Amino acid sequence: MQNILSMSSGHATAHLQSTPNSALLLRPLATGRGLWRCNARFRTSRPFKQIVKVEAHSKDSQSLSRRQALLLGAGTLAASNFATPDIVHAETKAVTASGIKSAETVQLGQSGLQISPVGVGAWSWGDRTGYWGYGNEYQKDDNLEAYKAVVGNGISFIDTSEVYGFGLSEEFLQDFMKQTGTQPVIATKFAPLPWRIREQNVVEACKKSLKRLGISKLGLYMIHWPGFITNGWCNDAFVQGLADCQQQGLTQAVGVSNFNLGRVKTAQQILKDRGTSLASNQVQYSLLYRAPEKNGVKQACEEGGTSLIAYSPLAQGLLTGKFTESNLPKGPRGATINKDRVAEVQPLLGLMRDIGSAHGGKTPGQVAINWTICKGAVPIPGAKSARQAKEAAGLSTSQAGLRTTIHSSALLSCQALSVSVVT
């Protein structure tokens, strides 16, 4: 895979340090990963703080709307008579990508699972809630082309869930893998629906996901969100269920999603007691949503050997720069990404364009993804089309395969911005 914003020369990579005068000083860091290492912290002016607050609020609202949509359509999953694949007990063979050439891989937590530094989220593939516009703005064929671009450009990690499209995302993946003769490392998720209260429910759901995916073993299996209301007391049992899945050979690694500090530490201990480890915690994390840095989640993951997987690293498209006052997202996203927010984010996008231009014509979206990698996370941007998938892989539609290097120390002058920055 083409390294996103590769700025390395040997083992000297660039460190992006923000300074009060809005100049960006690139300094070398000793690292062996060959990716652009940065540690910029943007303290935003009031408008940006409002964006962060709105994003935090909208995340909760989106979670609730997804849950409501899930409850409305849960009968689809509950009533579906999916055949259960045979369990392969005590399978120890490692899950690896097939038919995909990745220039670089990283290990997920302490699991031994090797994945590309960037993954792709398949939430939009076959989405039937109307959130992403499937059936109107894009079709299954567009998702297939996105998949081909994903694996063709070295991305070997794809994230899905049993509730994405109420199972359709997983079914699409089976079709796409068969059509292309490839198999990336697949991560999918268990949904703690209100009637699920036992650890055995996790195992049963995992088997059904495997059937829809048409594979015998997952790379990563996660709890999608913590149980709440009717099953808020079942989270420990769900984590035990993850360990059961792993011990039965259904998945190589196990993880969680949207877990707070306390739940992360509890899950880490439960799995340690079961002789395994928590490979990942998938949370919202981007330049505009920095909560994991402040609420202790990121630190707990680092200290416990758990990888942070970042969903919405592009703030659902806001950080790509594609939205304007005359080009706003349709449907539910239009309620949160509106004219005011698009206007408020322009100073940050201007800075990101300057950085991208100085490094081979990279896009704001690629700068945003690379920032997330530099923070030690594995970003999983969504990709509905081949163009979006290529951009996630670090390729420009007009400069495919472009790789750039930068001198170990350089000073870039940037336009004055209406934001203050600190290291």
Query: pLDDT digits over 131-141, tens only?
Result: 888 888 899 99
* pLDDT tens sequence across 95-132: 988 888 877 899 999 999 999 999 999 999 999 888 88
Whether the CB-CB separation of 308 and 286 falls below 8 Å is answered with no
Which tokens go with 51? 């964006």
Question: Which parts of the chain sit beneath pLDDT 50?
Answer: 1-91, 396-423
pLDDT at position 105 is 93
Specify the pLDDT at position 92.
Answer: 60
Report CA dihedral (152, 158, 162, 168) to the nearest 10 degrees: -20
* pLDDT of res. 279: 98
**Residue 45 structure tokens:** 């002016």
pLDDT at 14: 32
Active site residues: 164
Q: Which two tokens stand for residue 147?
A: 């998949």
Please state at what angle helix 199-213 crosses helix 235-247, rounded to 10 degrees: 50
E-strand ranges in 151-279 read 157-159, 185-190, 218-223, 251-257
- CA dist 246 and 223 (Å) reads 13
- HSE (CB half, 13 Å, CA atoms) of 314? 24
Q: What is the pLDDT of residue 117?
A: 95
Strands 12-18 and 377-379, by their bridges, are unpaired
Q: Note the pLDDT of residue 26.
A: 27
pLDDT at 19: 30
Judge whether 12 and 24 are in contact, CB under 8 Å. Answer: no
Tokens of 308: 């942070």
Q: What is the pLDDT of residue 258?
A: 98
State the Cα–Cα distance between residues 307 and 377, nearest whole angstrom.
7
Nearest to residue 400, comparing CAs of 349, 354, 365, 361? 361
In degrees and rounded to multiples of 5, residue 251 shows phi and psi of -155, 150
- Please list, in sequence order, all residues whose beta carbon lies within 8 angstroms of the beta carbon of residue 132, skipping any fewer than 6 positions away: 123, 124, 138, 331, 382, 384
Distances (CA, A) of 188 to 208, 241, 245: 11, 14, 13
The span from the CA of 107 to the CA of 93, in Å, is 16
pLDDT at 15: 31
Dihedral of the alpha carbons of 176, 164, 322, 133, in degrees to the nearest 10: 90
- Rounded to whole angstroms, the Cα distance separating 267 from 318 reads 33
